[in-house]
Structures are given as C-alpha cells and as structure tokens.
C-alpha cells in the first residue's frame, strides 16, 4: 500500500491510497489518519479509488477516525470505493453512517 | 492447548499410575512428590486442576491447600483431595479448606477421570467469566487487558471446548457445522441455545480485531447472548442489547458481525436479525437461491444502531447456509490441488499467492459459494459442509486457511 496526503482548500485533507489495506498496511493507514487529526485536520477524504480490498482492522480504523472527526466537529468521507470494498460497507451497514462520494469534487463539497 | 493437571503424592507408583491414566484423556500431567514442591510448582505455573494427596510427610494436603489459597495465582485453581482415609472429618475439613471434590483411596481410575472432568467442567466457566468481569469493571483499560492476558490465553484455548461438540438433533432438520481456526484464538464462533421444545437459538459470528481484546469481546458476546436470549423476544431486540453493551464498553475499532436467529421446528421458520454479517443463503423450493439481505449495523461500533427482524419459511428440502467471510475471502491458488503427493507450500509462498490473488481480485466469493450450494443441495447437511470445504481447497490450492472459517448448514428434511 502507498499513500499520498494532500491538504487542500478549507483545510480538507485527502488521503489517496493505492493498494490493498491489509495487515501491516492497516497500521500505517490508521497512523496516517491519526496524524491528520493530531495536526488539526478533522476534515478527511479517504480516496479508495485504487484500493481493491480492505480488511476488518482497516474498517475499524475508519470507524474510530470517523467518530473522532465528529467529536472534533469535523467529518470523514469516503471517495469512490471499489466493488469489494463497497460490498463490505453495505453488508456491515457502515454505508448508512459514512458519506460516500463518487468524485473528488463532490467529496470536497460535502464539507461546505 | 491441553489442560494441565498437577498430581501430588508421596507415593511415586501412584503418581505414575495417575499420570498414565490421565494423559490418554488429553490432559497434560505434572507431578510433585511433596507439599513444598507442589506449592512451588503450582505458584510458578498454575495448573488447571490439582489432584492432591492428603497424607504426606512434612506438609499434608490441608496445609498445601491453605498455602495455595493465600497465593493470588493459585487461589482459584480447583483442588481434588485424595486420601486413604475415608473419614468424614477429613472430607469436611478438606471441603472447608477449599477443596472442590474428594476421592478416597483405593480409587477406581474411571472415577478419577470422571471427577476430574466434572470439576473442570464446573470451573471452566468461572475461569472464563472472572477475568471478563474484572476487565469490564476496569472499563477495558489497556492495563486491565494486559493483566488479564494470561487468563485470557487460557480462556482462548478453552474456547474450543465451549463450542458445541456437535450440531443439535432436531426433529425434521439436519444441521451441520464447521469451524477452522487460523490461530489459537478464533474470531469466528457459533452456538446453539435450546429455547423451548420446538425452538432453538442459533448464532454465527465473527469478532473483528485480533488477539486478547478480540477474544475477550467474543466471550462477552457469547455470555451476553446466552443470558439475553431468554429475556428478549425478538432477535433484533437481542442484537440491540448486545450492541449497546459492546458499544458502551469497548473501543470503536473492536466490533463483531453476527447473525442470531430462532429456528422453530413447529412452524418451520427461521426468524433472524443480522448485525452486519455476510448474508445467509437460502436454497428454496423453487430450486434457486435467495440471498437473505435483511441486515443491520455491525455490532459494537455505534450505540444508536437499530436492528430489524425478518422471517424465512423453510420448505421440505430447503437449505440455509450461514458462513463467515473467511470462506468467501479465500484467495485463489496458482493451481488446483492435486490428488497425489502434493507438498504444502511454505508460508512465504502462501503469502505471495494470497497477495497476488488479492491484486487480481480473485476471491472465492458469494457467487461461487452459491454455485456450490446449488450443485450439492441434494446432499445431507454434513456432506454439503464437506463439499464446500473441498471446493475451497480446490479453489485455493491448499487445505490450510489464512483466516478463521465458520459454516452452519441447516437442511429441512423431506
């Protein structure tokens, strides 16, 4: 897994992730999101366009971060999850509590 | 992991005899030939049970028990006293001192085994629950968890013993199960809970996360379910109560997915609620598969989650299949498994294989499982379980698994 975080307008952080989020990669993923929160970025877009699969720990990391963002008055949204990831989000019903967007623009607009 | 029994007797022949008798029953046996070494051995590495001779030189069995009860590590270890004297005062004194049971010499070896099993059967749940209660009291703190790690590792080993040994026999239904663990601590679990003459509660779940906290959460869920299924009427209400309990007491990244349902043999219905778990498959009388998509939020992450109950009618020959994602997320192998001298791939080869499969997105998946069910729906429940396992082995090129797998097959008789 590789990632690249960009901080854009309105202090919105976008995590572009490439590769599956499994095993050790999950720790990296979790820490990167924590880092964003610690540096005052509580508006997160997690770009899943290039993520074929995530494991349950990664799902847990997303849930924890989502809650932390909300407590801080911010938000976490997901961008463009692929079929396998989308299915997991639906079966677990996380899709009912996490905003999911198709395009980077609409994801950013979610914070306006 | 086998349960350990410490046998204490100054007669070496008896030590040997008990050891030879208990080891074939699957216990690990340690011995000590006097009171001091017994206390030392038990204190250093607490056994699951102590068989303790009363009449020993220097320090007798009663003194040993008193010392053991004063040591934190050993105070909860069950003790069965063994003595040549069948006197009532000895029995009373022994039980007063804290012995759990009593065996009189000369003993019948079958009686020893039966008493050992009875005492262990009685104390296993206590060993399981105590750390749980303490941990809950400490609000699942890291410190609390670390302290409990030892207890919980033992609990994890016992976890398998707590699983129903075989699927229940129900009038008109044929039930089979499968549980394969990738590690000593399984995140997958199932349970059958008799509710009435015609109703049985069935749960299949998968605790996410890993290690001790996950094992702890699993114990918590199973214990809560066993209590709540008699208090609440609907599966949705039960999942709601469990969700509230887990959401309040654990971190958000520790959660579970599970299905709980009531199989009613009088009405041939399965009434269930699904907390974020893989959708069950229903092979119906139209010879096709319904995916039971009534689902709700996964368990333990959100206190405000709500749950829905749904009912499915089972006609003669219908089949219900519940499974965990360890089945559908089985990765494809390079080549189908051969029948001949097939050498298992090394771990690193398997990892590579697994990762390649993930990159190319080739998983066993729900569709293959449904196809396997359609093809084998005429088989008995246990043969169907076997067919699915064989299909997975064929698909992955390995009989080993990277993830825990659990499966319940319920088939209504003709």
Which residue from B minimizes the CA distance to A83?
Answer: B361
Q: Do B324 and B405 form a contact (C-beta atoms < 8 A)?
A: yes
Q: Is B337 left (phi over 0), alpha (psi -120 to 50) or beta?
A: beta
pLDDT of B355 strictly over 50:
no
Query: Which residue numbers of B have CB closer than 8 Å to A's CBs?
Result: 208-210, 251-255, 257, 276-279, 295-298, 301-302, 305, 355, 358-359, 361, 363
Is pTM beyond 0.80? Reply is: no
Structure tokens at B152: 């919980």
Report the SS3 class of residue B60. coil
How far, in Å, CA of B317 to CA of B131, rounded? Answer: 44
Task: Enumerate the residues of chain A whose CB falls inside 8 A of the CB of residue B328.
Answer: none
A112–chain B Cβ distance below 8 A for any pair: no
3-state secondary structure of B390: helix
User: Between chain A and chain B, how many beta carbons pairs sit less than 8 Å apart?
Assistant: 56
Task: Work out the mean pLDDT of chain B and round it to a whole number.
Answer: 83
**CA-based nearest distance A103→chain B, Å:** 23
pLDDT at B145: 52
Q: How far apart are CA B387 and CA B372, in angstroms?
A: 8
Q: Please list every residue in chain A whose beta carbon sits closer than 8 Å to the beta carbon of residue B210.
A: 57
Tokens at A39, concatenated: 């540096």
pLDDT of residue B199: 94
Of the listed ranges B48-57, B210-219, B312-321, the one predicted with least confidence: B210-219
ipTM surpasses cut 0.90: no
pLDDT: which is higher, B166 or B151 = B166
State residue B156's pLDDT score.
60
Look at residue B129 in the predicted model and tell me its pLDDT: 57
Structure tokens at B32: 């000590």
Provide mean pLDDT across the span B80-88: 75
To the nearest whole angstrom, how far is the Cα of B361 from the nearest Cα of chain A? 7
Quote the DSSP letter at residue B334: S
- DSSP run (H or E) holding B271: strand B269-275
Which residues of chain A make contact with B208, given a CB cutoff of 8 A? 56-57, 59-60
The helix/strand/coil state of B260 is strand
* More confident: B202 or B209: B202
Q: What's the average model confidence in pLDDT over B289-304?
A: 93
Which of B121-125, B294-298, B359-363 bottoms out in mean pLDDT, i.e. has the lowest?
A: B359-363
Tell whether the model's pLDDT for residue B359 goes beyond 50. no
Of A20, A64, A93, which is closest to B252 when you measure between CB atoms? A64
Q: Does A93 contact B297 at a Cβ distance shorter than 8 Å?
A: yes
Please name which of B93, B161, B111, B155 lies closest in space to residue B130, comparing C-alpha atoms.
B155
What is the reported pLDDT for B149? Answer: 59
Residue from A19, A93, A96, A97 to probe the interface with B (highest B Cβ count within 10 Å): A93
Pseudo-torsion of CA A100, A101, A107, A110, nearest 10°? -60
Contact B358 A53 (CB under 8 A): yes
Residue position matching structure tokens 């097939």? B342
Name the residue among A22, A53, A92 with its Cβ closest to that of B298: A92
Strand A2-7 with B28-32, pairing: unpaired
Cβ within 8 Å, pair B361-A59: no
Predicted local distance difference test score (pLDDT) of residue B356: 39
Do B296 and A59 make contact, defined as CB atoms within 8 angstroms?
A: no
Residue of A nearest to B356 (CA): A20
pLDDT number for residue B399: 78
- In angstroms, the CA B204 to CA B275 distance is 10
pLDDT tens figures, B379-396: 999 999 999 999 999 998
- In angstroms, how far is the first alpha carbon of chain A from the final one? 30
- Chain B residues with CB under 8 Å of A61 CB are 253
Q: Is there a contact between A97 and B302 if contact means CB atoms under 8 Å apart? A: yes
Report pLDDT for B252.
66
Higher-confidence residue of B176 and B360: namely B176
For strands B405-412 and B319-323, give the pairing: antiparallel
Both tokens of residue B214? 């996950």
Angle at B144 between CA B1 and CA A69, to 5 degrees: 115
Each residue of A39-95: pLDDT tens digit?
889 999 999 999 998 888 889 899 999 999 998 999 999 999 998 899 999 999 999
Q: Give pLDDT, residue B203.
A: 95
Contact A92 B276 (CB under 8 A): yes
Confidence of residue B362 (pLDDT cuts 50, 70, 90): confident
Element (H, E) at B160: helix B142-162
Provide the pLDDT for residue A14: 94
pLDDT of residue B338: 39
| pLDDT surpassing 60 at residue B131 | no
Bridge-based pairing of strands B4-8 and B28-32 is parallel
User: Of B209, B251, B355, which has the smallest distance from its Cβ to A57's Cβ?
Assistant: B209
CA distances for B242 relative to B39, B98, B260, B277, B299, angstroms: 41, 36, 11, 15, 7
What would the pLDDT profile of B248-273 be if each residue is shown by its tens digit?
Answer: 877 767 889 999 999 999 999 999 99
Task: Tell which residue, B119, B51, B55, has the closest CA to residue B90.
Answer: B55
For chain B, the first-to-last Cα distance in angstroms comes to: 41
For B177-187, how does the pLDDT look when each residue is reduced to its tens digit (9 = 90+)? 998 876 655 67
| Range B212-221 average pLDDT | 78
Please indicate whether, in this complex, the C-beta atoms of A91 and B295 are within 8 angstroms of each other.
yes
DSSP-derived 3-state class of residue B34: coil
Q: How many other CB atoms sit within 10 Å of the CB of residue B303?
A: 11
Return all residues near B165 (Cβ < 8 A) that are at least 6 apart: none
| Segment B100-108 mean pLDDT | 85
| Dihedral of alpha carbons A26, A30, A35, A41, sign | positive
- Helix intervals (H) in B33-108: 35-44, 61-69, 88-97
Judged by DSSP in three states, B78 sits in coil
Q: What is the pLDDT of residue B146?
A: 58
Residue A27 CA to residue A5 CA, distance in Å, equals: 16
- What's the residue count for chain A? 112
**Exposed/middle/buried for residue B33 (C-beta within 10 Å: 0-12, 13-18, 19+):** middle
Whether pLDDT at B339 is above 90: no
The residue in chain A having the minimum alpha-carbon distance to the alpha carbon of residue B297 is A93
Reply yes or no: is the peptide bond before residue B392 cis, omega within 30 of 0: no
C-alpha count within 13 angstroms, C-beta hemisphere, residue A20: 19
pLDDT of B407 > 70? The answer is yes
Are A93 and B295 an interchain contact pair (Cβ–Cβ within 8 Å)?
yes
The reported pLDDT for the residue numbered B297 is: 95
Amino acid B122: pLDDT:
74
Residue B90 to residue B240: CA distance in whole angstroms: 51
Determine the average pLDDT of the residues in B373-378: 95
Pick from B244, B251, B256, B382: which is nearest to B324 by CA? B256
pLDDT band, residue B90 (cuts 50/70/90): confident
- Which has the minimum average pLDDT: B67-71, B247-251, B323-327, B362-366? B247-251
């Amino acid at each position: 897994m590789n990632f690249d975080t960009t901080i854009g307008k309105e202090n919105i952080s976008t995590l572009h992730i490439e590769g599956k989020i499994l095993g050790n990669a999950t720790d990296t993923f979790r820490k990167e999101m924590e880092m964003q929160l610690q540096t005052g970025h509580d508006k997160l877009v997690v770009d899943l366009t290039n993520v074929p699969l995530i494991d349950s720990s990664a799902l847990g990391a997303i849930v924890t971060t989502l809650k932390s963002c909300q407590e801080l008055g911010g938000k976490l949204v997901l961008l463009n999850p692929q079929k396998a990831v989308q299915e997991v989000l639906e079966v677990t019903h996380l899709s009912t509590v996490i905003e999911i967007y198709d395009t980077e623009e609409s994801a950013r607009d979610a914070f306006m | 992991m086998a349960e350990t029994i410490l046998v204490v007797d100054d007669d070496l022949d008896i030590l040997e005899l008990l050891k030879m008798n208990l080891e074939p029953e699957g216990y690990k046996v340690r011995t000590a030939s006097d009171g001091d070494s017994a206390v030392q051995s038990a204190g250093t590495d607490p056994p699951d049970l102590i068989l303790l001779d009363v009449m020993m030189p220097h320090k007798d069995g009663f003194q040993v028990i008193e010392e053991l009860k004063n040591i934190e590590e050993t105070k909860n270890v069950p003790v069965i006293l063994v003595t040549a004297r069948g006197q009532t005062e000895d029995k009373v004194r022994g039980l007063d001192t804290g012995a759990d049971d009593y065996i009189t010499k000369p003993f019948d070896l079958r009686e020893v085994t039966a008493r050992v099993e009875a005492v262990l059967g009685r104390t296993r749940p206590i060993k399981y629950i105590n750390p749980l209660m303490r941990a809950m009291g400490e609000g699942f703190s890291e410190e609390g968890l670390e302290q409990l790690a030892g207890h919980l590792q033992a609990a994890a080993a016992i976890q398998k013993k707590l699983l129903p040994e075989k699927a229940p026999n129900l009038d008109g239904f044929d039930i089979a199960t499968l549980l394969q663990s990738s590690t000593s601590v399984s995140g997958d679990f199932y349970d059958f809970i008799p509710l009435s003459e015609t109703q049985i509660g069935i749960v299949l779940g998968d605790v996410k996360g890993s290690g001790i906290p996950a094992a702890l959460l699993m114990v918590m869920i199973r214990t809560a379910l066993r209590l709540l299924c008699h208090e609440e009427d609907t599966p949705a209400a039960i999942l709601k109560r469990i969700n509230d309990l887990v959401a309040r007491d654990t971190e958000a990244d520790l959660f579970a997915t599970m299905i709980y349902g009531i199989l009613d043999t009088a009405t041939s219905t399965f009434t269930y609620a699904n907390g974020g778990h893989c959708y069950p498959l229903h092979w119906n009388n139209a010879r096709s598969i319904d995916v039971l998509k009534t689902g709700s939020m996964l368990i333990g992450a959100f206190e405000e989650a709500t749950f829905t109950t749904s009912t499915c009618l089972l006609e003669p020959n219908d089949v219900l299949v519940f499974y965990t994602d360890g089945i559908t997320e089985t990765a494809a192998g390079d080549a189908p498994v051969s029948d001949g001298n097939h050498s298992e791939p090394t771990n690193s080869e398997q990892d590579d294989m697994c990762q390649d499969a993930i990159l190319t997105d080739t998983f066993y998946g729900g569709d293959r499982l449904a196809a396997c069910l359609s093809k084998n729906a005429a088989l008995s429940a246990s043969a169907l379980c076997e067919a699915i396992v064989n299909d997975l082995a064929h698909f992955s090129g390995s009989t080993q698994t990277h993830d825990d797998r659990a499966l319940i097959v319920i088939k209504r008789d003709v």
